[in-house]
Structure 1
Amino acid sequence: MKNNPTLLIILDGYGYSESTEHNAVAQADTPHLHNWFKNYPHALLQASGSAVGLVDGVMGNSEVGHMTIGAGEILPQPLTILNTMVQTHSLDTDQTLTEAYNTLNNADNSLHIIGLLSDAGVHAHIDHMVAFVKSAIANRVKRIYVHVILDGRDVPPQSALLYLDRLQKELDNFKNVQIASVHGRFYAMDRDNNSDRIEESLSVLFGHVDPEDKDAQAVVEDSYLERVTDEFIVPTLLTSDGVIRPGDGVIFCNFRADRARQLTKGLLDTVDLSFFVTPVQYHPDLATISLIERPVADNTLLEQLTKDDLSIFTIAETEKYAHVTYFFNNGREDKYDNEVRVLVPSIKIQDYTKEPCMSAKEITEIVLDSLETNPKDFYIINFANADMVGHSGNFDATKKALECLDSELEKLFEQAVTKMDGTMYITSDHGNAEVMYDNESRQPATSHTTSPVPFMMLKKTLANKPHTLPLSGLKDIASFIIKNIKD
């Protein structure tokens, strides 16, 4: 089998849209990608809403996209599970929460609710944050401090004032709740081990800085005057009463783990808390209490390959490494015995528009070396460019990112397909780069989309034989690949 390798390449954030306006995917000079989709078997796959276990109309994201591809089935996602808990008011009587609240009430400590202030449903949802506040109120918690993380990435770049107003109207109903700090997600939700960014947020949460004499809305307005958008607003303390102290309790509302782990670890490593509650488990090594268990897939793609004694090669750069490992394997942290994993460091830079190729060339070189010297049966390769550069809203930079990918993919095609008679599948986990402007907000579009994503099957014998493949969603990829490997 190793002489005829199979490559599954996930172009993160590479969606499909009939409209070419503000569409970096359509307008980029990517002759190979356009040619392959036109002249090889292909399909358009649903990658959002109920097709990946989310609510209809909710954009897809990297976590659920990789999870659905790897699981080969649609799994209920934390967003939908939490929505049900909110709608049924079950948070008010949840045993885990009520026991946690009682420890605070008995010791006269404060509750801190941290979360991304957004309704995109990618990492968190504002309705969940409000529901946690109401749950604590219902259980007579005396002091509640809310620490908001501003989005500006999965929602328009300057939309924080709308969400703050929405939140404040809810909080105004209670005398013992206030917003204690604000943080741009660039700092509080780093996932690339940039400790300096996390430290900025931790310094605020622990009161190592002086509070500003202003409210959250004023912090945002002043940042806009400096041309700083929501994502990059510097962490700011609003009241010294709201710093996290020993014996306090924390609820982190984010239900997606990858961008919550570092801040959580920093908090747990620094202060002795009464409890730290999270919607889902962020990591087995973090001493948190989770409210819900993730549904488990019966037989993931890699489990099936492992049972067939096929060797596996998994590679991504830091930004998406958790997605091709932890999420792709349905929450499994450890690699399989027959699996090689390679983490390529992401460039340490604030703005990927300055380096739109990111680490794509390094990934390609490593895969080519493996194919030429010690080929494996199955390769899982993630290229982060379309998503990470697409999040900038910079149209020209996103086109350059796609053009870089086109060049790198051609190298892999020549080696794996042309020379080794292998099969190369190209797909995506969700859309992004195909919609680069939001006509409604009249701002650059920095978020994911609900667009379908391409799927292509490249093989020597299939050249110039285009037809629509019998796949409708990301869930169909695993079974299709297994079938073709065994044929």
Structure 2
Amino acid sequence: PLCLLVLDGYGIYDEYEGNCAYLANPENINGAIAQAKQKQLYVQLKAHGPAVGLPDETDMGNSEVGHNALGAGQIIAQGAKMVNDSMQGKLFESKNWQTITAAAKEKTVHLFGLLSDGGVHSNITHLLTLLRKFAEAGCPNVRVHALTDGRDVAGDSSPKYIKMLEDALAQAEASGSGFSYRVGSGGGRMYVTMDRYNSDWNIVKRGYDSMVHGKIDESIVPEVGKNGYTGYYKSMSEWREAVGASFPDKSDQNYPPFVIVDADGNPTGKIGDGDIVINFNFRGDRAIEISRAFIEGDDFKDMDRGVAPKVDYYGMLIYDNDVGIPKQSLVPNPEIHNVMSEYLVASGVTMYAMSETHKYGHMTFFWNGNRSGYLDTSLEKYEEITSEPATPEQIAKNPAMKAPEIADATKIKVD
């Protein structure tokens, strides 16, 4: 058998004091590399920039684009590049954009997603462009539900992005008579909204509650009432100052949810029936669950949504092409064909793919060109080792995650 291992978080870089893989001096990996070099079976692959379909050399790689490229064996134009190109004009000439802006004359537009320029899940420049274009189209009411990053960018960098957002909202609001462009709600990305692989639906519920109901469920947000944290603030910048003071040991990615309220304490950005909701993240894995919460009907059972409004929902892209999550997008998806798994299945080769919950979709969905499920159940077997929730405490306590269990399970299959 041939075994292909993807080492999460491991890469090749300059040998200096900031390179943890170099400092760890991993005996087995270094031995395998030395042996491969001796046999002239060693090659280095780029995992960033145009080599993996990103706009330029300054764009760092990520697990989505890396697994797409490895699984496809080809360069795929990725979401960031496609959105960049589309925002030069095509997006704003599309039928979907015309439909959205026509409806937005009467209904509120809600934009939600990750507020940073990390370029892994989103880019703040896309959000700022959309705000400007909505104002130019004469859409009077827009709300942004913003998630702080602290994972793909520095852990305490959110004030910079909040200022950029609030400045852009003020400019858009000033551009039209009666315009109202405001932040509605938000929180930290790893605690609010952006769960993946059904790891913890309470993460999704925290975001959904704040966006839709304008409330915070204290049974799943124990931070409320601690150290002066209320969860309800007049602006996002006020919230950021308060949450940083209340929880100095937390970083941007782990902050609790917040809701923006008026002078009387009423939420100012609740999502209602007929409103337009746009997820401005372009990466799919952490966008699927919250998209399902908005688009699925009464048979949705993964969390209690309360009274769910019927909205016109769009992703920046379609996050799962196979099952259509969501049904509509601002930008057409990349089409990935002739991936390695298709070739192996056509050749009658059996395959086994396995990882833990937090990376399972990387070895299946991303690896197979953003397809869900099996290509051929008679030749493929996928297995998942259940992960603990990815809380900061759990990550710090167990950085190896499920690597030992994955190694043991793989050894059994190989033997």
TM-score (norm 1): 0.72
Matched residues in 1 for 2:325 and 2:13: separation?
41
| Letter of the structure 2 residue corresponding to residue 156 of structure 1 | A
Matched ranges for 1:34-183 at <5 A:
34-40=30-36, 41-56=41-56, 57-86=58-87, 88-105=88-105, 108-175=106-173, 176-183=180-187
What are structure 1's unaligned runs of at least 5 residues?
A: 373-487
Cα deviation, 1:377-423, whole Å, max 9, x if unaligned, reads xxxxxxxxxxxxxxxxxxxxxxxxxxxxxxxxxxxxxxxxxxxxxxx
- Per the alignment, in what secondary structure is the counterpart of residue 165 of structure 2? helix
Name 2:271's counterpart in structure 1: 244
Cα deviation, 1:356-375, whole Å, max 9, x if unaligned, reads 22111221222122222xxx
Name 2:397's counterpart in structure 1: 354
Cα deviation, 1:149-183, whole Å, max 9, x if unaligned, reads 11000000000000111122222112221111121
4+ residue segments displaced more than 4 Å: none
Matched residues in 2 for 1:349 and 1:96: separation?
36
Q: Which has the higher strand share?
A: 1
| Letter of the structure 2 residue corresponding to residue 161 of structure 1 | P
Cα displacement (A) at 1:287: 4.3
Residue 222 (str. 1) matches residue 275 (str. 2): no
Matched residues in 2 for 1:85 and 1:349: separation?
34
Identify which of structures 1 and 2 has the higher relative contact order when contacts are C-alpha pairs closer than 8 Å and 6+ apart.
Answer: 1
Cα displacement (A) at 1:349: 4.7
Matched residues in 1 for 2:335 and 2:19: separation?
36
Name 1:339's counterpart in structure 2: 380
Matched residues in 1 for 2:7 and 2:47: separation?
13
Residue 276 (str. 1) matches residue 313 (str. 2): yes
2:188/2:253 contact within 8 Å kept: yes
What are structure 2's unaligned runs of at least 5 residues?
A: 174-179, 217-230, 262-266, 297-304
Residue 364 (str. 1) matches residue 407 (str. 2): yes
Measured on the aligned residues, the alpha-carbon RMSD in Å equals 1.7
1:275/1:288 contact within 8 Å kept: no
Matched residues in 1 for 2:7 and 2:342: separation?
23
Matched residues in 2 for 1:84 and 1:138: separation?
20
Matched residues in 2 for 1:244 and 1:298: separation?
38
1:117/1:125 contact within 8 Å kept: yes
2:120/2:152 contact within 8 Å kept: yes
Cα displacement (A) at 1:192: 4.2
2:114/2:281 contact within 8 Å kept: yes
Residue 185 (str. 1) matches residue 189 (str. 2): yes
Cα deviation, 1:443-478, whole Å, max 9, x if unaligned, reads xxxxxxxxxxxxxxxxxxxxxxxxxxxxxxxxxxxx
Cα deviation, 1:256-295, whole Å, max 9, x if unaligned, reads 0100111222233453434111121123253431233333
2:71/2:367 contact within 8 Å kept: yes
- Per the alignment, in what secondary structure is the counterpart of residue 171 of structure 2? coil
Matched residues in 2 for 1:371 and 1:38: separation?
23
Name 1:28's counterpart in structure 2: 24
Matched ranges for 1:305-344 at <5 A:
305-337=344-376, 338-344=379-385
Cα deviation, 1:410-443, whole Å, max 9, x if unaligned, reads xxxxxxxxxxxxxxxxxxxxxxxxxxxxxxxxxx
**Residue 234 (structure 1) aligned to one of 235, 256, 263:** 256
Name 2:176's counterpart in structure 1: none
Name 1:15's counterpart in structure 2: 11
Cα deviation, 1:115-154, whole Å, max 9, x if unaligned, reads 1111111000001111221222222222100111110000
Matched residues in 1 for 2:97 and 2:396: separation?
43
Matched ranges for 1:424-435 at <5 A:
none
- Per the alignment, in what secondary structure is the counterpart of residue 43 of structure 2? strand
Matched residues in 1 for 2:196 and 2:400: separation?
19
Cα displacement (A) at 1:208: 4.6
Matched residues in 2 for 1:26 and 1:313: separation?
31
Q: Which has the higher helix share?
A: 1
| Letter of the structure 1 residue corresponding to residue 7 of structure 2 | L
1:246/1:273 contact within 8 Å kept: yes
1:148/1:179 contact within 8 Å kept: yes
- Per the alignment, in what secondary structure is the counterpart of residue 241 of structure 1? coil
- Counting matched residue pairs gives 365
- Per the alignment, in what secondary structure is the counterpart of residue 280 of structure 1? coil
| Letter of the structure 1 residue corresponding to residue 295 of structure 2 | L
| Letter of the structure 2 residue corresponding to residue 252 of structure 1 | N
When residues 273 and 287 of structure 1 are mapped into structure 2, their CA distance, relative to the original with a 3 A threshold, is farther
Matched residues in 1 for 2:371 and 2:389: separation?
27
Matched residues in 1 for 2:70 and 2:332: separation?
20
| Letter of the structure 2 residue corresponding to residue 327 of structure 1 | F
**Residue 207 (structure 2) aligned to one of 198, 201, 204:** 201
2:86/2:331 contact within 8 Å kept: no
Name 1:259's counterpart in structure 2: 286
When residues 141 and 157 of structure 1 are mapped into structure 2, their CA distance, relative to the original with a 3 A threshold, is same
2:114/2:146 contact within 8 Å kept: yes
Name 1:294's counterpart in structure 2: 333
1:103/1:274 contact within 8 Å kept: no
